Amino acid sequence: MTAGDPAAELVGRYGSPLYVYDLGRVGRAYDDLRAALPDPSRIYYSLKANPHPRLVAELRRRGARAEVTSRGELASALEAGCPPGELLYSGPGKTPGELGEAVLHGVRHFSAESFGDLARIGAAADAHGVSAQCVLRINAAGAPGGAGLRMTGTASQFGFDPEALLAEPGRLAVPGVRVIGLHFFPLTNARDEEGLCAEIVQSIRTAAELRRRLGTDLRLLDLGGGFAAPYAVPGERPLYPGLRAAVTQELDASLPGWRAGLPVIAFESGRYLVGDSGRLLCTVTDVKDSRGTRYAVLDSGINHLGGLSGLGRLLPMSARPLPGTVPDEPQRATLAGPLCTPADLLGRSVELPGLRPGAVLEFPNVGAYGLTASLLGFLGHPAPAEIVLRGTDVVSATRLALYRRELDGASGAPVTDPIPVKELT
Ligand SMILES: *Cc1c(COP(=O)(O)O)cnc(C)c1O
């Protein structure tokens, strides 16, 4: 809590619950990541973490490119001013329809997840008389003993198994496609710098080996990320003081052309870049005791934060009261949301002062995987407003809304303007 924190005043103006993002923090995160990575290298911002166009625009202004995986993320990136020719479109299950739209909007770089995906990317590009530049996502074995949530290395819907590529390299010759490189994303939210370095070093070695054995072009090597950030608990982003030297050394050894841009080295991050820029402010509606457990019922739950945890993975979240709240004795309580499901818990046995109806709480470090990673449509509460600050200036105030649109019976196309699902506020 800092002096002059405008949060309480913002809740007064825009209501509770409320997401508040700080562009200054986005900039600091970008600078920290830049400083940790080899030079030259490219940073892609993964919109999955938070597609808010003002955050994307801030990262773009600083030099990041956008990595998108859907029509919605593409729309956010374009709204943020990202040049379509610089985007990377990735993700499993890209449909012919969305690929055609992406190509039409000028997207030329894709990450291919399978031979079938590669063929569909090629067909979409070919249909528009252009060529798609593809990196092949690799499902590699990774470094032994690596830490974090592992995305690849065993059976996976993500990427090509290297052995499958090596068995049938001829299948990479696809009309409409030029294979320009490789894409790794072996882990997310790495536990420590050592594990992260080991994964990246292993990816570089695998890339060099695959280039040699496949004889493919390697103009772009996307090494993914795994850069960590605290989620819905107090804490600081880690710095990676040893990463740049370790990765630079391996690049020099395995891919000596990289300093001249052959290949261009790229990294991706979502949570590291925006995680600590955001907080969720919400209000205690009810405090009640049930069979020895105290519950604080909030006006915000897994419909606004941690929707993934609603599937049974309750992360250790914690909240703290806003300044100005007269500090009471700290109490231990379970933080429940307003949804009619026992899954709507944001924290178990959290100790915090100021627990009484009307108290405003804040969940820190929720700029990534907050609102859009949650169960927004479930039970029909309005979305929180999203406020973007530069310093103490509000530069954007918006509220996401779900719409129901009537469709034409013959064409399936929308026939009406969006009708907001009834909002009572
Ligand atoms: C989810 C994802 C990211 C972003 O992950 P963070 O942990 O938020 O940095 C980047 N690249 C790919 C391919 C992803 O699936």
Classify 23-275 by CATH class: alpha beta
* 367 CB within 6 A, ligand 1: no
* 370 CB within 6 A, ligand 1: no
Q: In this structure, what token pair is assigned to residue 259?
A: 């300093």
**By the 8 A CB rule, do 297 and 285 touch?**
yes
List, for residues 309-342, the tens digit of each pLDDT value.
554 555 677 888 887 665 677 889 999 999 999 8
Atom 5 (ligand 1): residue with closest C-alpha?
Answer: 270
pLDDT of residue 144: 58
Which residues, at least 6 apart from 323, have a Cβ–Cβ distance to it below 8 Å?
1, 5, 8
How many angstroms is it from 111 CA to the middle of ligand 1? 13
- Which residues does the chain have with pLDDT short of 50? 1-3, 145-150, 311, 425
Separation CA 37–CA 41 (nearest Å): 7
* 107 CB within 6 A, ligand 1: no
How many angstroms is it from 410 CA to the middle of ligand 1? 39
CA of 275, closest atom in ligand 1: 8
Separation CA 56–CA 50 (nearest Å): 8
* 50 CB within 6 A, ligand 1: no
How many angstroms is it from 407 CA to the middle of ligand 1? 34
CA of 227, closest atom in ligand 1: 9
Domain ranges of the chain: 23-275, 276-399
CA of 271, closest atom in ligand 1: 8
pLDDT of residue 308: 66
Separation CA 46–CA 49 (nearest Å): 6
Atom 7 (ligand 1): residue with closest C-alpha?
Answer: 188
How many angstroms is it from 31 CA to the middle of ligand 1? 19
pLDDT of residue 319: 85
pLDDT of residue 309: 58
pLDDT of residue 375: 92
Look up the CATH superfamily of 276-399: Lyase, Ornithine Decarboxylase; Chain A, domain 1 (2.40.37.10)
% of the chain residues with pLDDT over 70: 91
Cα-based distances in Å from 208 to 201, 203, 221: 11, 9, 10
Which residues, at least 6 apart from 47, have a Cβ–Cβ distance to it below 8 Å?
56, 66, 67, 68, 69, 73, 76, 77, 270
CA of 49, closest atom in ligand 1: 8
Helix (H) or strand (E) holding 221: strand 220-222
pLDDT of residue 2: 46
How many angstroms is it from 423 CA to the middle of ligand 1? 33
**By the 8 A CB rule, do 52 and 395 touch?**
no
Which residues, at least 6 apart from 305, have a Cβ–Cβ distance to it below 8 Å?
232, 280, 317, 346, 363, 366, 370, 371, 374
In a 10 Å sphere around its CB, with 0-12 CB exposed, 13-18 middle and 19+ buried, how is residue 97 labelled? exposed
| Angle made by CA atoms 143, 147, 148, in degrees to the nearest 5 | 125
How many angstroms is it from 188 CA to the middle of ligand 1? 6
pLDDT of residue 7: 86
List, for residues 96-125, the tens digit of each pLDDT value.
999 999 999 999 999 999 999 999 999 999
